[in-house]
Structure 1
Amino acid sequence: MFNYIDRTIISILQVPIKRDLALSDAQLGALTGLSFAIVYSTLCLPVARWADRGNRTRIVAGSLALWSAMTALTGFAGGFMTLVMLRIGVAVGEAGSVPSTHSIIADLYPARERATVLALWGLSLPAGMAYGYLFAGQLERMIGWRGTFLVIGLAGIALAPLVLWTMREPLRGRFDAPAQHAAEGADLKAALRHLWQLKAFRYLVLAGTCHAYAVYATMNWNAPFYGRVHGMALTDVSIYLALLNGFGSAIGMYLGGRLSDRAGRHDNGGRLRVVAWALLAMVPFALAQYLVASPTLSIVFGAFASILMMFYFGPIVAVPQLLVPPGMRALTSAVVIITFNLLGLGLGPVCTGLLSDLLATRLDVATDSIRYALCSATLLSVAGGVLFLVAARHLSGSGAPEEVSAATPCPVPR
């Protein structure tokens, strides 16, 4: 949850940061997306390989302490480059958290339950976003954006020892047959080659990356959108976005994981078809959210878009875990995360910011430039939905997860 709080607060605090440090939309996009994504993606693979062989709970606790310290120091930033360096520090810390956690969860629950469980764990994302929006909006009013970073960073540092003392390392591969451990000793190049040969995995990652572009673009620019286009105060925006991205995303995550597990009982491809249709249904709601004139209607449409947008979260993590042995699970999650971050988080916010700047200067639509830039980002989810359908076709016929016993390795799709 603190992982997503620390990612969210810089988005809600863009308005005062831009005002105090005189930043452009392109700089804000690079700050909230590209600078973070490049370093996060660079470190994710080696840290994940470490997690596949080392103590995962210690990696999570150490990561939390590091990124929280960088968040606290952000309150002392004096300019754009200092902010970039500190966001890089946050990325260094967060690179060790999610892949290790995915691997731990896979050793706590059998395959037939993982999409649901990962969706429940994924509720930390909307919870973190909701708290981030609420706390950042209210704290900024009381102690400014610098004090907000300091307070939230120190809270994360205080949590790190608790994580270290209370989390226990589970037995690796406890739900998997001995045959599935065969690839654990493979080197990084061989492991990546194994992943590339799985067509279902390739299309799944490409589909998720297209959708992630839209997700990260909207998450980073929704706050400025409601402030500029609809003239909402920052405190009001923080409350509305906490509801949209908190409750709305939470509902979508749970439903996506639950329906994915149910659809995969007789055909694994059903796990991804649920996601595909949700994304294709989401796009009209998202376009309406940004194009309607009424702020009330915009928030209503945004609620439906937030629910459908997050259907992908549980399945995009759980399905790859079905395809690989226990000793490759953190690495597999890292590959998914890297592509999401480089092409989704890395390009989504910054390209949306660049397009907004371009529309404002070339077409003289300064107020509405962010509106049209967000609409363009949303359309990438159409491509994501189509590619999820292709991935589902390659995943079909691999057998139902609940039919796989502890003595039989999970079937690998073609």
Structure 2
Amino acid sequence: MNELAGRWFVLGLLFAVSTFNYIDRTIISILQVPIKRDLGLSDTELGLLTGLSFALFYTTLSLPIARLADRTVRKRLVAAALAVWSGMTALTGVAANFTHLVILRVGVAAGEAGSIPASHSMIADLFPPRSRATAMAILGLSLPVGMMFGFLSAGILAETLGWRKSFGVIGVVGLLLVPIVLLAIREPVRGRFDRSADVADSQPGFVDALRTLWHLRSYRFLIAGAALHAYVSYSVMNWSAPFYTRVHEMSIGEVSVYLALVNGIGGGIGMYLGGWLSDRLGQRDARLRLRVLTFGGLIFVPMALAQYLVESTTLSLAFGAVAFTLLPFYYGPVVAVPQLLVAPNMRALTSAVTLLVTNLVGLGLGPTVTGFISETLIVRFGMGQHSLRYAISAAILFSLVAAFLYWRASGSLIAEMRYAEEEKVRDRASSSGISLSDPGSPATLALANKR
């Protein structure tokens, strides 16, 4: 297998692993309908189950695991993570109450925390910078594909086997992939697209690394915008199935097929398009790497509001097809752009920090707060099944703020990308004993070319 085929083969396996990540995370969005009925859970409890209880452990564990990924064999971390979350998913089928469900979801979160940062770090060492956002977006396609298979499998299995056996079947299938990951993936050389001096064996201290990220103005605005958009995304994804079963009286089977199609096909198109446009337009003007997200957000908001506020089921489904296509548009650039601003030995940590903030705000607060608002509208204002219309719509408005923050992040992106490149030249010169004061030295000429 040649080098090009090899890198795409590894990306394909990482894609498969990440797909199971999102399948296991998605199925509860459909299965919460029979779980609510069987165990008598409230909307607030469902929000905590699908949001905060998962996000707290997922985000907390992602940082130390990412530090480990920056210094150890990453494929082993990915395989171990897959084994843990798949096993916990299988055991969810024996849960007898809310407490059992929370404990097992925490186990799923602990497993999934180890996969994404290590995968992002490996991809950064498999693909050069010019095509990295596209590669990240392709990996990100595992989100809509995983959601598609998650919705479809959960809907079909729930109607044939019930929700308990559904968890068991899906968890066991994920476990079958573990030995393939261990045996088939060849660990890529760390920092292979960077000069040797950029890939020091020693890492910056944890506090120093966080300080470096904080001082990046473009990163601060970018991660704030991504966190707010993630809030919208997880609110929409976690509550759409109950919305359509309650408000439009669709069956679980009908809802699962619709959500599978709009997330799997529409979301896949949107996610790839976001990464592709960011790479293509960013070659002309680096600021467009992020400004494309602003334009996508401004189109998404009216489409999504119409989806949840119109009375017609047909119109709601039509507007939803557009909204779900644009919902994951941001993923590729949000993951790839920070990789352009940091050294190779900070990439997994940077990915983990991005995931920590976006998931803590998005996954932690989105479903939980939306469920609380829905239940408040039912109890205090008697809205009944229509409460989810307004609870989800309130969440969607945060995408307008996210669009503004993406634009602000783009303003300082060029300068900070240039500074990152200049730092690499200085480090290479320093490690080689070359003085930048010599105007004819290769390092000085390289620095001048960067400017």
Shorter-chain TM-score: what band?
over 0.9
- Structure 2, unaligned stretches of length 5 or more? 1-18, 429-445
Match of 2:330?
312
Match of 1:143?
161
Aligned pairs, number: 410
Separation of aligned partners in 1, 2:130 and 2:288: 13
Does residue 1:243 correspond to 2:268, yes or no? no
AA paired with 1:169?
A: E
Check 1:322–1:132 CA distance in 2 against 1; reply closer, same or farther (3 A cut): same
Does residue 1:322 correspond to 2:340, yes or no? yes
Question: 1:14-413, aligned counterparts within 5 Å?
Answer: 14-181=32-199, 184-397=202-415
Contact 2:203 2:346 in 1 (8 A): no
Contact 1:106 1:114 in 2 (8 A): yes
Separation of aligned partners in 2, 1:317 and 1:151: 32
Kindly indicate whether structure 1 or structure 2 has the higher relative contact order, using CA contacts under 8 Å at least 6 residues apart: 1
TM-score (norm 2): 0.88
User: Could you tell me how far 1:299 is from its partner in structure 2?
Assistant: 1.1
| 1:79-108 Cα shifts (integer Å, max 9, x gaps) | 000000000000000010000000000000
| 1:217-274 Cα shifts (integer Å, max 9, x gaps) | 0000000000000000000000000011111110001110000001110322110000
AA paired with 2:355?
A: I
| 1:302-355 Cα shifts (integer Å, max 9, x gaps) | 111111221101000000100111111000000000001111100000000000
Separation of aligned partners in 2, 1:100 and 1:198: 22
Contact 2:133 2:332 in 1 (8 A): yes
Structure showing greater Rg: 2
Identity %: 56
- Structure 1, unaligned stretches of length 5 or more? none
Separation of aligned partners in 1, 2:68 and 2:220: 23
Separation of aligned partners in 1, 2:211 and 2:418: 25
User: Could you tell me how far 1:286 is from its partner in structure 2?
Assistant: 0.1
Separation of aligned partners in 2, 1:64 and 1:206: 29
Contact 1:183 1:325 in 2 (8 A): no
AA paired with 2:362?
A: G
Separation of aligned partners in 1, 2:95 and 2:345: 40
User: Could you tell me how far 1:183 is from its partner in structure 2?
Assistant: 9.2
Check 1:16–1:170 CA distance in 2 against 1; reply closer, same or farther (3 A cut): same
Check 1:183–1:390 CA distance in 2 against 1; reply closer, same or farther (3 A cut): farther
AA paired with 1:61?
A: A
Contact 1:180 1:326 in 2 (8 A): yes
User: Could you tell me how far 1:122 is from its partner in structure 2?
Assistant: 1.1
Contact 1:5 1:129 in 2 (8 A): yes
Separation of aligned partners in 1, 2:197 and 2:220: 23
Contact 1:270 1:396 in 2 (8 A): no
User: Could you tell me how far 1:400 is from its partner in structure 2?
Assistant: 8.7
